[in-house]
Amino acid sequence: ESSANLIKLDPSRVLGAVDDKVYSGFLEHMGRCIYGGIVDFDSTVPGLTNEKGYRLDVADALKELNMPVVRYPGGNFVSSYHWLDGVGPKDQRPRRPELAWLGEEPNHFGTDEFMEWCEYMNTEPYLCLNMGTGTLDEALAWVEYCNSDKNTYYANLRRKNGHEKPYNVKYWSLGNEVWGPWQVGQMPAADYGKKAFQWAKALKLLDPNIKLVACGCTGFEEWDYIVTQALISQVDLYSIHLYTSSDDHYKNVTGTAGAERGIQICSKLLDLAKIQQKAYNADVKICFDEWNVWDGERAPGYLGAEEQYTLSDALAVASWCNVFIRQASLIGMANIAQLVNVIAPIMTSKTDLFLQTIYHPFLLFCKYMRGESLNLHVESPTYKGDTGCSFTESSVGGELLWVKGVEPAIPMLDVSATKKDGIITIAVVNRSLEDDLTTKIVLEGDYKETVTVYTVHHDDIAATNTFENKEVVKVEESTCKLGDLESYTFRKHSFVMLRISS
């Protein structure tokens, strides 16, 4: 046991506002995410679905997360998706091959169904445009269908399909992972930059109120340098993606340090583009619209995507969320990928669901880590072994990067803090497999005697939830006294959230 650990915070030292949109989600037509996940049109189980086919148990579990925005319909899927296939009478919609996951798309769930589901869920839609097989005309038609109140063809098609009022979809992204070798329509960064520039101009002519999201890579690649330069004057958000994972616990929970550094570098690339392109009015925040723990090799089920999460993964997800809080001033949106069955916090069967281990810390963040992010001083042992940061392989030149091969120092106590409505919330992952870390928590100000404590922990780092044993890893709620923070013990491999009221 170690006792020289310290978490010190002064609530007047605000790093920035936490955008609620960091708790957004992502749904893709992939495996059992849409069909069998958020909807089941064939279910005969009484009460499981409503008249629209929504899985009500899934909707309830997602409603707890109170997600402001949900991105749809892909992902890789979107790069060969024609949105017109998914509107109008269901029996006339074509069944198509889809090229991302080499499946078949029945098109029973499309734009109108997604918009209605979003309304039911009280969340805002975010649509990703097809820059693979899709054309600019098709993209314009989709924006017109969703957002126009004029007497024009696609706006009238929406009316004909039963939706008089425009949906006013605000967020639209210019393609998905266009850099990826797996992507239909993969192209070099400079080609993407030119094409997306033209699309952006046309889309904003049609609807100046939309917010456009550029397709970035990880935030620290050559692609990101070229594309930030090309699109800084045209877009409102810059998207990056990263999945972390390892069977080795320490690599699993330290991979998030790569995401954090990636965010910082990406933000510097955006600043550089502003200056070099003289786009002084640009205000482009990062949109981390795919993030999670995902090991495609490990996961059973459809395409290796039905990941079954462990306690170690739950701690990694808590560290992911800590990154978003610490970097709050740079992040405009983040979308956990995905929401149901596919790389997801919720797993369903035809009759039931269980909440994966990762659901629990994520729920605590969604509920409590809002408001303003606070500056922190943390002292704890650092991890000395190999990390899970993919970052050191990055290829953008110059002093913006870590030196290749140099591993960052990663603290065993991973911490972030917020304040909202007079409540200070401190989120702490103890990454250590060996040591409970007794820590002095120093907090300026006067507070109530009783502190609420939420803990996610299990003796077995590989503990997992299943349909048979749904609550092996869950949130435990307790209290402690304010005075206990003088010397508070964070158990090894645990996640703790402390809520301190003034």
- Residues taking part in catalysis: 177, 290
Sign of the torsion formed by the C-alpha atoms of 231, 233, 235 and 238: positive
Which three-class secondary structure state does DSSP give residue 420?
strand
Element holding 376 (H helix, E strand): strand 371-379
- Paired strand residues for 35: 39
> Least Å distance between CB 365 and ligand AHR?
20
> Least Å distance between CB 257 and ligand AHR?
21
Which three-class secondary structure state does DSSP give residue 414?
strand
Q: Which long-range contacts (CB under 8 A, 24 or more apart) does 133-138 make?
A: 133/79, 133/80, 133/82, 133/99, 133/184, 133/185, 134/79, 134/81, 134/82, 136/198, 136/199, 136/202, 138/82, 138/83, 138/84
**Nearer to ligand AHR by C-beta: 36 or 75?**
75
> Least Å distance between CB 269 and ligand AHR?
21
Range in contact with ligand AHR (rule: CB under 6 A) among 261-269, 314-322, 337-345, 421-429: 337-345
**Nearer to ligand AHR by C-beta: 81 or 225?**
81
Q: Is 75 in the site for ligand AHR (CB under 6 A)?
A: yes
Range in contact with ligand AHR (rule: CB under 6 A) among 71-79, 89-97, 216-224, 454-462: 71-79
The 20-49 site mask, x for binding ligand AHR (CB under 6 A), equals --------x---------------------
Instruction: State how beta strands 171-173 and 211-215 pair.
Output: parallel
Asked if 442 and 8 touch (Cβ cutoff 8 Å), the reply is yes
DSSP string, 82-138: -GGGGSS-GGGSPPEEETTTTEEE--SS-HHHHHHHHHHHT-EEEEE---SS--HHH
Which residues in the 271-290 window bind ligand AHR by CB under 6 A? 290
**Nearer to ligand AHR by C-beta: 61 or 178?**
178
Range in contact with ligand AHR (rule: CB under 6 A) among 68-76, 396-404, 419-427, 475-483: 68-76
> Least Å distance between CB 377 and ligand AHR?
36
Asked if 310 and 464 touch (Cβ cutoff 8 Å), the reply is yes
Asked if 7 and 376 touch (Cβ cutoff 8 Å), the reply is yes
Asked if 171 and 25 touch (Cβ cutoff 8 Å), the reply is no
Range in contact with ligand AHR (rule: CB under 6 A) among 70-78, 158-166, 322-330, 436-444: 70-78
> Least Å distance between CB 144 and ligand AHR?
26
Which residues in the 343-362 window bind ligand AHR by CB under 6 A? 343
Q: Of these, 18, 317, 337, 363, which contacts ligand AHR (CB under 6 A)?
A: 337
Asked if 127 and 146 touch (Cβ cutoff 8 Å), the reply is yes
| Count, residues near ligand AHR per rule CB under 6 A | 10
Residue nearest ligand AHR, Cβ-based: 75
Which three-class secondary structure state does DSSP give residue 255?
coil
Q: Is 76 in the site for ligand AHR (CB under 6 A)?
A: yes
Instruction: State how beta strands 124-128 and 346-348 pair.
Output: unpaired
> Least Å distance between CB 362 and ligand AHR?
16
Q: Is 74 in the site for ligand AHR (CB under 6 A)?
A: yes
**Nearer to ligand AHR by C-beta: 115 or 337?**
337
> Least Å distance between CB 454 and ligand AHR?
28
**Nearer to ligand AHR by C-beta: 294 or 368?**
294
Q: Is 245 in the site for ligand AHR (CB under 6 A)?
A: no
Q: Of these, 124, 177, 207, 260, which contacts ligand AHR (CB under 6 A)?
A: 177
> Least Å distance between CB 76 and ligand AHR?
4
How many helices and strands (H and E) does the chain possess?
A: 10, 23
Q: Of these, 111, 228, 338, 418, which contacts ligand AHR (CB under 6 A)?
A: 338
The 290-329 site mask, x for binding ligand AHR (CB under 6 A), equals x---------------------------------------
Instruction: Work out the burial of residue 313: count CB atoms within 10 Å of its CB; fewer than 13 is exposed, 13-18 middle, 19 or more buried.
Output: buried
Of 232, 170, 180, the closest CA to residue 207 belongs to: 170
Range 361-372 burial, b when 16+ CB lie within 10 A, else e: bbbbbbebbbbb
Tokens, residue 254: 């330290």
* Axis-axis angle for helices 256-276, 222-231 (nearest 10): 40
Q: Of these, 176, 234, 357, 394, which contacts ligand AHR (CB under 6 A)?
A: 176
Interacting residues toward ligand AHR by CB under 6 A:
28, 74-76, 176-177, 290, 337-338, 343
